[in-house]
Amino acid sequence: MATSKEMTSGRPFPLIFNFALPLLLGNLLQQTYSLVDAAIVGQFLGINDLAAVGAGTSVVFLILGFCNGCCGGFGIPVAQKFGARDYGTMRRLVSVSLQLAVVMSVVIAIVTSLFCADILKVMRTPETIFRNAYYYLLVTFIGVPCTFFYNLLSSIIRALGDSKTPFWFLLFSTVLNVLLDLFCILVLDWGVTGAAIATVISQGVSAGLCYFYMMRKFEILKTTVAERKFQTSLARTLLYIGVPMGLQFSITAIGSIMLQSANNALGTACVAAFTAAMRIKMFCMCPLESLGIAMATYSGQNYGAGKPERIWAGIKASGWMMLVYCAFVFVVLLLGAKTFALLFVEASELEILKDTELFLHISVIFFPVLGLLCILRYTIQGAGYTNLAMLSGVSEMIARTLVSLFAVPAWGYFAVCFGDPTAWVFADLFLIPAFIYVYGKIKRIVPPSVGVATVA
């Protein structure tokens, strides 16, 4: 039988580290999906198809980011009620979140699929890669329910202090994804569409495994008929926290779409370099995201237990972990960026290799800024102040928009490389005073009452 774990007592450093480690491995595996797709496409299908996979990356982040943000937000009230030991309300929240997920994921899948072609046209996708980019994006959008449910179920399991179970299911589906990629591309000759199909199937399998395991093994989640009934008040609580978190990702992605649109206009070679660099960067960002997600659960449980002083202790512990990792990844990317780029393109593609290396070298310098962003943003979200976290996404959007409109036309791809770092700086300038404000408030309040979300 699976067990839940409280993080409301004990030393923060080992608690956060032990919780974040399997979460990190799971995130690395999730990013492996993207790496495998891009690497196999780039090596077996060529530069144009690699560019087609990457042409809509920021749009995928816009849609899937909203879904993942909502899922993370739905897990926060669950973590708070678990920390407060209000298990009845916790189970009702889980049931309502699953019902909301069905409706939201299906609606999102239908709407985005209908407007897929229009989105790519607005982003100035080159004609040479438009058709393949369309099919890749369309399959990804159709598979939104698979992604939504995996992330929701993982968020619920993590809210109970178990970050290991989702990892094992994700490990299985990652291996499945690699095998299906090779089968769909090399055997069935489905091209980039096959890569998208392989990813969607793999995520669907992972979601199914999570659901059946969670319902069979977690005794604390066994519900009665009354607890499974839809409750409007709890739905409002979930949406009031989840939707701002989803919008935070989407607002951030709007800036990314503008940046990618500006980069798309620079030509296929720049799109291919951007695609390869983004895949590598996202992989290297996983430890920072994992620390942040761990802090959301840690913060939510300790807020629910009425122990705000432990939240500050967790900030310091995760900050030290973040700095050590940033020093490590700086050395790795400084020396090995070009080697990693060779996973996606042939050694003869000198311009693409050079641009990929430049992007990674600039990005890694600013990783400590990104690490602070992840820790503060997720901590604020864990305490229920999701509106403030959403506003930090607005800061990122403004920064990327300014770079896209003014810097890229003047300095080209070099300015594209500074798009994300500029956004991270803007976000931190907002999040630092925001956290000071939030911490001052949570030190003076009692844990939230049953069924009521605490937001700014």
Q: Give counts: helices (H), strands (E), the chain.
A: 18, 0
Categorize the per-residue pLDDT at 453 as very low, low, confident or very high, splitting at 50, 70 and 90. Answer: very low
Cα angle: 29, vertex 30, 34; to 5 degrees: 105
Q: What does the pLDDT read at residue 55? A: 66
Query: Are 25 and 294 contacting, i.e. CB atoms less than 8 angstroms apart?
Result: no
Scan for tokens 């042939």, then name that residue. 346
Q: In this structure, how many other beta carbons lie within 10 angstroms of the beta carbon of residue 110?
A: 12
Q: Which two tokens stand for residue 251?
A: 């607002």
The Cα 160–Cα 164 span in angstroms is 11
| Residue 227 amino acid letter | E
Query: Are 73 and 380 contacting, i.e. CB atoms less than 8 angstroms apart?
Result: no
Cα angle: 249, vertex 4, 208; to 5 degrees: 60
Does the pLDDT value for residue 19 go beyond 70? Answer: yes
Q: Is residue 454 part of a domain?
A: no
Query: Are 156 and 16 contacting, i.e. CB atoms less than 8 angstroms apart?
Result: no
Mean pLDDT of all residues in 217-235: 83
Does the pLDDT value for residue 387 go beyond 90? Answer: no
Chain segment 30-61, per-residue pLDDT in tens: 676 667 667 777 777 777 777 776 666 667 77
* Mean pLDDT score of the chain: 85
Chain segment 244-297, per-residue pLDDT in tens: 878 877 787 788 778 878 887 888 888 888 888 988 998 899 899 889 988 988
> What is the phi-psi region of residue 448: left when phi exceeds 0, alpha when psi lies from -120 to 50, beta otherwise?
beta
Q: Is residue 415 part of a domain?
A: yes
Cα angle: 92, vertex 97, 101; to 5 degrees: 155
Q: Is residue 4 part of a domain?
A: no
Q: Which two tokens stand for residue 43?
A: 């090596």
| Residue 347 amino acid letter | A
**Residues of the domain holding 41:** 12-442
Q: Please return the burial class of 103, using the count of CB atoms within 10 Å of its CB with bins 0-12, 13-18 and 19+.
A: exposed
Chain segment 140-182, per-residue pLDDT in tens: 899 999 989 988 888 888 777 777 777 787 778 778 888 888 8
Q: Is residue 447 part of a domain?
A: no
Q: Is residue 311 part of a domain?
A: yes
Number of domains observed in the structure of the chain: 1
Mean pLDDT of all residues in 232-243: 88
Q: Which of 153-162, 332-341, 344-353 tops mean pLDDT?
A: 332-341
Q: Is residue 377 part of a domain?
A: yes
Q: Is residue 452 part of a domain?
A: no
